[in-house]
Amino acid sequence: MYVAAGILVIPVLWRQYRIISQHFSDLLILAIAAGVTNVTFLVALTEGEVMRVMLLFYLSPLWTVLLGRWWLKEKLSLAAILMLVIAMSGSLVMLWNKEIGWPWPHGVADWLALTASIAFSINNVQARKLGSVSMRVKTSIVWWGVVITSVLVLLMQQSPIPDSSITAWLGAWLLGWLAIVAMTVAVLYGVASMPVYRSSVIMLFELVVAAIATWLLTNEAMTLQEWFGGGLILLAAYGVARTEMNSE
DSSP character at residue 178: I
Domain range for 177? 2-247
pLDDT averaged over every residue in the chain:
84
- Residue 229 dihedral angles phi and psi, to the nearest 5°: -60, -45
**Of 136-145, 183-192, 203-212, which one has max mean pLDDT?**
136-145
Higher pLDDT, 74 or 27: 27
pLDDT of residue 62: 78
Question: Quick check: 202 and 224 in contact, CB under 8 A?
Answer: no
Query: How many separate domains does the chain show?
Result: 1
Kindly report the CA angle at 145 between 154 and 57, in degrees rounded to 5? 85
Q: Can you tell me the mean pLDDT for 179-204?
A: 84
- pLDDT tens digits, 93-110: 877 777 766 656 778 888
Higher pLDDT, 228 or 56: 228
pTM: 0.78
If you write DSSP's letter for every residue of 180-198 in order, what string do you get? IHHHHHHHHHHHHTS-HHH
Rg from Cα positions in the chain: 19
Q: How far apart are CA 158 and CA 155, in angstroms?
A: 5
Higher pLDDT, 99 or 11: 11
Q: How far apart are CA 202 and CA 236, in angstroms?
A: 8
Q: What is residue 97's three-state secondary structure?
A: coil
pLDDT of residue 104: 67
Q: Can you tell me the mean pLDDT for 41-63?
A: 82
Q: Calculate what percentage of the chain has a pLDDT beyond 90.
A: 24
pLDDT at 244 over 70: no
- pLDDT tens digits, 146-178: 999 999 998 988 878 778 889 998 999 999 999
Among 241, 197, 206, 237, which Cα is nearest to 63's? 197
pLDDT at 221 over 90: no
